[in-house]
A and B are shown apart, each in its own frame.
Chain A
Amino acid sequence: MALLFLIIGGGAKFARENLYILAGAGAGFAFLDRLGMREFLLGGMALLLGAIVTAMIHHRRFRFRIEGDAIRVRRGLFEKKDLRVRFARVQNVSLSQPVYFRPFGLVRFSIETPGAESTEVELPGISQALALALRDHIARYAGQMADQGESQADHAASPDAALEVAVAGQVLHRPSTGRIFAHGLVSNQVWLIAGVAAWLSGTLWERMEDWLESVGVSQVVQAILALGWAGAAALVVGLTMALFALSGLLSLIRFHGFVLHDHGDRVLAVSGLLDRREQTIRREKLTGLTLYQTALGRLIGQWYLIGKQATSKEIEVDTRGQRFLVPGMRRRDLGLAGDLMPGVNLPEDLRPISRRFRTLFWTRTSVLVLTACGLAWWWLPDLRLAIAGVLAVLLLILWLIHLSWRRWGWQVVDGVCWVRQGLIGQRLDGFELSAVQQATLVRTPYFRRHGLASVRLVLPHGQVQVPFLTLEDASALINRAVYAAETARRHRV
């Protein structure tokens, strides 16, 4: 049975990885008259056969074993891989159950460690009971040094219960469906969808036009065009609304029934409609968290939270929702930060950065633009209207600089450093100073003239920068961070 799913999964993966080739081939098949239906079917059959054979070999080769405090996986098609991961190194266990796994009680089980670029160990299609048992087994080993007595009771989740029952624990956060929909509305994925849609429409437009002509729908288009500005505006509004609705729906599908549970030394998030996903994250391996509020989210007071863990990735990318995201938070839910990282309190107020941030960027931008405009005014009298437009844009930029300056803020509360940045939206990074890996003081000639400095702190999950502090504040922050790192009990990630 697992074999069947491996074929489906393998097919899906193959399709994802070779999307461009497939799309090209599909387009070729669809639009080239030379290839008939028979060739198309033959090609499809060959691909399917290849996928089945690959999946069968993959299935035959795939073996895993639990060796006390470690898991060993052997796999590989052409190149055999033998991998052994110690449970103590595991920072993230996630179970996911796509909709086609559900009737057979199978789940996909994956483990992440800090060193790996992507998921280290993935067991596609093991039984749910085994997965849950394995999860608790890992939690027991991993949490051994943290505590033993207290959380043992929590661990005693019965392995044969359903996914929903097995995660019983104190509920930390359960956003309403409306909130999850709102998360989709305000999240930046709207722009991503818009970009993809624009790209698709760009490439498909010519084809569409031909098609429209042939079908005779062009009368409809002409009718819309005849409406003039009102019609165009309605079209734009309609498209925008459709875009937002789509984004909201996607969010609903992904985060359907999101619940965050507390299990002592670990927290557990369950969500998803089509692909039921359960993420277990160890509190100890949480090196920081970030609270986000997008520009639109500010309008309706919507936040979301991302738990940060050590990574070797250079750029933060959302690889199939692997990161630990808590959607649909309101202002009063922000205390969740303290629930995730005990002893962490949100700062009541943040300290601003130096006024010179605004002064510097205001003066430099203005001088640059005004000089250019003055020259243009002198040399190109025809374009004076455009120059006036540029000056208006300059005002807007100056305002944005002011907003950015207002948004910057930092504070240290109980050894936890908070840094806020943003323009209209905002993000608030919180991390323990003791997690700092490296501290850098940066001074440009301008900073040296005005007694300022920037601080750059390298954390296991990436860098955080605080610009335009006074030299005293910057040095004090670095001294504190370095002191905290050197006296911390936990040494390496």
Chain B
Amino acid sequence: MEQAEIFSNRQVATAELPDFRRVALTPVAPAYLPWALVTQTAFWLILAVVALIVPRLPFLPFDLSGWERSWVLPLAPLLVAIIGAVYARLDARTRAWALREHDLVYRYGVLWRKTVIVPFARIQHVEAVHGPLERYLGLMRVKCFTAGGMTADLTVKGLDRSDARRVRQYLLEQIAASAEAEAGEEGGTVGEAGPDR
């Protein structure tokens, strides 16, 4: 295949390649923390409130046999909510992103800290999404779709709305540019390059 030929011809010293670890990453917008807190803890808080109220209702839809006066019931969801909040706090601190000339770098995760690199040339299409809460907080998510199944999609969360727009614009420009380059090269190589056999 053509790529193999390129690579066997042009020896590349690994040490001279641009290193993704040297990129200065931009932390996500400060508004990301409240958004993550709300989205991650809201469900469990509601559940805790429900667990608090239901045993005190005059009519019970089901038998609770002895749990009526217990304070333990709402504690479990509350605990999960607190853990979620702590996690969101830590997560917001590590989440960061950067654009390079040819790719997008995104870091996230608390225990499993992941650094994802998506070359622009591999992005199939881009989507910018914002929910009601994100609109209120001025946030936006940018979804990048690549080939290789659903797990291959990267969602860059916690971008400022203006940042997100700029990122999306930049991505679209880069994708268009790489597609043009591809078309140009393909046109030029019809005659000379063929498979080995």
Using CB atoms and an 8 Å cutoff, list the residues of chain A in contact with chain B.
114, 144-151, 170, 262, 264-265, 283-284, 310-314, 341-344, 414-416, 432-445, 448, 458-463, 475-476, 478-480, 482-493
Contact = CB atoms under 8 A, between A and B. Distances in A.
Given A415-B3, A458-B146, A460-B147, A437 B111 contact: no
Contact of B148 (A265, A460, A478): A460
A454 to B, nearest CB: 9
Given A480-B12, A491-B121, A432 B112 contact: no
Contact of A264 (B12, B17, B121, B197): B197
Q: Which secondary structure characterizes the binding site on chain B?
A: mixed
B18 A432 contact: no
Contacts of A458: 146, 148, 151-152
A314 B190 contact: no
Contacts of A491: 121-122, 178-179, 181-182
A458 B112 CA distance: 18
Most chain B beta-carbon neighbours within 10 Å: one of A432, A441, A480: A441
Nearest to B191: A148
Nearest to B101: A486
A144 B187 CA distance: 11
Given A148-B190, A442-B112, A437 B146 contact: yes
A460 B112 CA distance: 24
State the 3 A-B residue pairs at the shortest beta-carbon distance, nearest first. A415-B7, A343-B4, A147-B194
B135 interface: no
Nearest to B21: A475
Interface string B128-169: 000000000000000000111111101000000000000000
Contacts of A460: 147-148
Most chain A beta-carbon neighbours within 10 Å: one of B4, B20, B118, B190: B4
Given A146-B194, A148-B190, A439-B117, A344 B4 contact: yes
Contacts of A151: 194-195
Given A444-B112, A491-B178, A491-B182, A479 B4 contact: no
Nearest to A343: B4
Contact of B146 (A414, A438, A487): A438
Contacts of A283: 1, 195
A68 to B, nearest CB: 18
Contact of B186 (A114, A145, A486): A145
Nearest to B113: A443
Nearest to A432: B3
Contacts of A310: 147-148
Contacts of B197: 170, 262, 264, 342
Interface extent on B, as a size class?
35 or more
Given A416-B4, A458-B151, A445 B111 contact: yes
Contacts of A342: 1, 4, 195-197
B183 to A, nearest CB: 9
Contacts of A170: 197
Given A486-B121, A489-B189, A440 B3 contact: no
A492 B116 contact: no
A257 to B, nearest CB: 24
Given A485-B122, A490-B3, A414 B151 contact: no
A312 B18 contact: no
B152 to A, nearest CB: 5
A487 to B, nearest CB: 7
17 contacts: A264-B195, A310-B148, A311-B148, A342-B4, A414-B7, A415-B7, A437-B148, A440-B116, A458-B146, A458-B151, A461-B148, A483-B17, A485-B121, A486-B119, A487-B6, A490-B3, A491-B182
Nearest to A475: B21
B187 to A, nearest CB: 9
A462 B103 contact: no
Contacts of A312: 147, 149-150
Interface string B2-17: 1111111000101101
B26 interface: no
Contacts of B102: 482, 486
B12 A483 contact: yes
Contacts of B12: 480, 483
A410 to B, nearest CB: 14
B148 A150 contact: no
A460 B122 CA distance: 10
Nearest to A312: B149
A414 B4 contact: yes
A479 B150 contact: no
Given A114-B147, A442-B113, A146 B195 contact: yes
A153 to B, nearest CB: 12
A482 B17 CA distance: 10
A438 B122 contact: yes
B108 to A, nearest CB: 10
Contacts of A448: 113
B86 to A, nearest CB: 16
A114 B124 CA distance: 13
A482 B103 contact: yes
Contact of B151 (A114, A463, A485): A463
Nearest to A264: B197
B193 interface: yes
A438 B1 contact: no
